[in-house]
Amino acid sequence: AQSVAQPEDQVNVAEGNPLTVKCTYSVSGNPYLFWYVQYPNRGLQFLLKYITGDNLVKGSYGFEAEFNKSQTSFHLKKPSALVSDSALYFCAVSAVNTDKLIFGTGTRLQVFP
Amino acid sequence: DTGVSQDPRHKITKRGQNVTFRCDPISEHNRLYWYRQTLGQGPEFLTYFQNEAQLEKSRLLSDRFSAERPKGSFSTLEIQRTEQGDSAMYLCASSSTGGNQPQHFGDGTRLSIL
């Protein structure tokens, strides 16, 4: 069965420092991978996706993610964190032969001034 | 692109009552999804439509839940005889056809059962 794991409940980083939010996945076949961000009392906003091709995917608001097939990981990264990046981040995989998304439990990112 | 719209944003009701939520997808999107999110968890898939056809239902969707998309545009999600465990955020998303297309989410309907 397909699954996504986000091993960190919370990540703390100082403004201006690089950030990484970790995600690993388990899926049969080639994965479609996504990152979403959620602000309080709001829905999820799409950040980026990996379908095929380059392992480094660039997305919205300066975020990027690195796909690593051998480690079955899809970590979210940003070179320089902003206080406004503080939010809840979800990694998701699109299940094989269906378009439903399977989400991780989320990682709360806290960026301190 | 006006985004996915959900109504109401908040619903408070007593246990045993029926509730109905509405979702208006992005107009050119033919896929529409419903998810449920409880506190501290990621969204869990409930069901999805392609146009007016309901293509998949989760086992989470008990017989008290029903979803429709009668004209392939807006969708409704009804919960009958609500229970305490139904308290959650109900999220709607829409996308173009294909698993590699990102789903765009509305701001959700937060349901609280008294």
Interchain contact, A99 vs B98, CB within 8 Å: yes
Q: What is the mean pLDDT of chain A?
A: 93
Is the sign of the CA dihedral B41, A27, A78, B101 positive or negative? negative
pLDDT at B99: 63
Interchain contact, B45 vs A102, CB within 8 Å: yes
Average pLDDT rounded to a whole number, residues B59-67: 90
B58-74 CB burial, b ≥16 within 10 A, e <16: beebeeebbbebeeeeb
pLDDT at A53: 83
Percent of chain B whose predicted confidence (pLDDT) is above 70: 97
Interchain contact, B100 vs A101, CB within 8 Å: no
**Spatial distance between the Cα atoms of A10 and A3, rounded to a whole number of angstroms:** 20
Average pLDDT rounded to a whole number, residues B47-71: 92
State pLDDT tens for residues A59-95. 999 999 999 999 999 999 999 999 999 999 999 998 7
Q: Which of B42, B98, B108 sits opposite A90 (nearest CB)?
A: B42
Does the beta carbon of A67 lie under 8 angstroms from any beta carbon of chain B? no
Are B23 and B91 in contact by the 8 Å Cβ rule? The answer is no
Does the beta carbon of B57 lie under 8 angstroms from any beta carbon of chain A? no
Model confidence at B82: pLDDT above 60: yes
Are A84 and A70 in contact by the 8 Å Cβ rule? The answer is no
- The closest alpha carbon to B104, from A38, A45, A58, A99, belongs to A45
Average pLDDT rounded to a whole number, residues B49-61: 91
Does the beta carbon of B25 lie under 8 angstroms from any beta carbon of chain A? no
Query: Given pLDDT bands bounded at 50, 70 and 90, which one contains residue A7?
Result: very high
Q: Using an 8 Å CB-CB cutoff, list chain A residues near B35.
A: 101
Model confidence at B44: pLDDT above 70: yes
Bridge partners for B7 per DSSP: B22
pLDDT at B1: 54
